[in-house]
Amino acid sequence: MATLIVRASIAILLALLSAAPSCAREKWQGPSTFFRSLDESRDGFVSLSEWTAMYGHCDPNDETCKRSLRSSLVEFHCGDTNGDQRLSWSEYYDM
């Protein structure tokens, strides 16, 4: 019984380890097309103004648009883990 548990544990561990490199490869292949499209200044970061520009101009009377913008701002600030008011590819990827 103990041998069966050990074998199952090893199989699970190997499955987890084999999945990790593909995630890391995807992250470090570089910024996605969408990230690059947000980065209008082409400095490798998405600033808060670049982030909010994707929403265009919200109609002040459109509650749905205002809620989406507020939600997006929360998402931006949560993703900006070092607090520099811009998202690196790594911060964006990890959101």
Alpha-carbon distance of 77 to 94, in angstroms, equals: 13
Q: pTM for the complete prediction?
A: 0.67
In whole angstroms, what is the distance from residue 14 CA to residue 56 CA?
Answer: 46
Q: Residue 12's pLDDT is what? A: 55
| pLDDT tens, residue order, the chain (95 aa) | 555 454 555 555 445 445 544 555 566 678 888 899 999 999 999 999 999 888 667 777 888 888 888 888 999 999 999 999 999 999 999 88
Give me the residue label for tokens 């998402």.
Answer: 75
